[in-house]
Structure 1
Amino acid sequence: IDRELNISLRLHFAPDEIEWGLVAGYLNHLAQLRPVTDHLVQCAQQGIWLEKAEEGKPLPEDFSIRGLVWAYFAFCPGWFDSDDDEDLLRNVETSRTHEARADRPLYYGLRLAF
């Protein structure tokens, strides 16, 4: 990744520009609904993507935002390199999809905490 691109895409906020109380409240509520696993904490501490089956795959909504500039660093390298039928992947809701949706913001919340 180009270092200059990485720096230019960072958003700079003053401490009072983000409602951290609301972010914390959302993450705490989500953690009550979907417990934070040791695996999730370990991945966040190490800065690696979730690697269990179905955790490290794009969610159906990820296909819609993958080309946007602000989402450039939001996805694991190689997520969209599959030879599988992309249209099929976009519309598949597995039993694990809703859990992966909950794990994603918890993962990012933990990354912010570490």
Structure 2
Amino acid sequence: MLITPAFAQTAGGQASGASMLVQMLPLVLIFVVFWFLLIRPQQKRMKDHKTKIEAVKKGDQVVTGGGLVGKVVRVDDIYVDVELAPGMKVKAVKGTLSDVVDPMTAKPAND
């Protein structure tokens, strides 16, 4: 034999480390693709939604999680009072508001 057993073992150990890197590379690439295509945009949307909901003020038109559209009458740290119709007010948890409608782009309700 031309190769001693000790030399053959060390050469195999180095090749095993390189093959481990080659095996992990596709998993790392998949994670990077998921990060940029799914996770990062979702985090940005959540951050934008949170800032929009925290900035709710009296007079804003909002959409609740249940799909009700109304005008904000009162705001505190946790709750908002929403007027759905003249004289009909409901108290909603601020975190359940799904959208704040821009009054310039909002279509008036048909009465």
Q: TM-score, normalised by structure 1?
A: 0.17
Higher strand share: 2
Higher helix share: 1
Q: TM-score, normalised by structure 2?
A: 0.18
Higher RCO structure (Cα 8 Å, ≥6 apart): 1
Give 1 or 2 for the bigger CA radius of gyration. Answer: 2
